[in-house]
Amino acid sequence: MTDQPHDLTDLYSGFPAGFFGRADQSLDSNFYAAPRLVTHIDDGAIEAVGKLYTELGLTGRVLDLMGSWVSHFPVKPEELVVLGMNTKELSANKDADSWLQHDLNVNPIMPLLDEEFDGVVCCVSVDYLTRPLEVFNEVHRCLKPGGFFVHTFSNRCFPTKAINGWNQTDDRGHVSIVGEYFRRTGPWSDLSAELRTETSSFGDPLYAVWGRKSS
């Protein structure tokens, strides 16, 4: 994405036409109606997710955004809330203290309190958001000052449900897209982006982009 100034009255100014469209425009509730009790990245990438969560010290009350039946924390936070699409997947998450079913593409406004969470994570799901900037601002509202918002993703997805802009670029472009979401929302501080797996690995690459809610 460009670093050119954008119109603050329109969060999405400057994105190409159709960027947030998808091949499958049907309701996500239909696509995710059947539970998928599987992991969408390999064991090495899952380990990399957990190591990042540990390094960042994600403890206290944490929200797993667009989550499912496993949240990839090596050590469970004091309280884990999981927001996702499928009730059977959510109820199967043994680390979740509570969960809620909510479709962020239908309504990016979450039924959560201001400054309710010490951290928010989103694993292999940012590519499916059709209204990501509203969601990022909502996460900012729900985070305590200094709290981390952490995105991890690989090169796998359901291509018909990922946004066109994601499908039309490569891994480096995906990092840039998530970085642009942070830059247009917030304010966020300490923005970071890393490849968290070995470049020589034959497994799934694991990329991470994260920032803190500015105090």
Q: Is residue 4 part of a domain?
A: no
pLDDT of 201 above 60: yes
Q: Is residue 9 part of a domain?
A: no
Range of the domain at 165: 45-213
Of residues 2 and 19, more confidence is placed in: 19
pLDDT of 180 above 90: yes
What pLDDT sits at residue 200? 64
Q: Is residue 27 part of a domain?
A: no
What pLDDT sits at residue 2? 34
Give tens-digit pLDDT for 17-65. Answer: 999 999 998 888 877 776 665 567 899 999 999 999 999 999 999 999 9
pLDDT of 178 above 60: yes
Give tens-digit pLDDT for 64-92. Answer: 999 999 999 999 999 999 999 999 999 99
Q: Is residue 203 part of a domain?
A: yes
CATH number at residue 128: 3.40.50.150
What pLDDT sits at residue 202? 79
Give tens-digit pLDDT for 153-175. Answer: 999 888 999 999 999 999 999 99
What pLDDT sits at residue 32? 74
Q: Is residue 17 part of a domain?
A: no
Find the length of the chain: 215
Q: CA separation (Å) from 30 to 26, 94, 131?
A: 7, 25, 19
C-alpha to C-alpha distance for 12 and 14, rounded to whole angstroms: 6
Q: In what order do the strands lie in the sheet with 143-153?
A: 98-101, 79-84, 61-67, 117-123, 143-153, 207-213, 188-195
Which of these, 17, 11, 36, lies nearest to 125 by C-alpha position? Answer: 36
Which of these, 148, 117, 147, 154, lies nearest to 210 by C-alpha position? Answer: 148
Distance of CA 118 to the CA centre of its chain: 16
Q: Is residue 1 part of a domain?
A: no
Give tens-digit pLDDT for 122-155. Answer: 999 999 999 999 999 999 999 999 999 999 999 9
pLDDT-derived band of residue 7, with 50, 70 and 90 as boundaries?
very low
Q: Is residue 195 part of a domain?
A: yes
Q: Is residue 15 part of a domain?
A: no
pTM, full prediction: 0.91
Domain count of the chain?
A: 1
What pLDDT sits at residue 6? 42
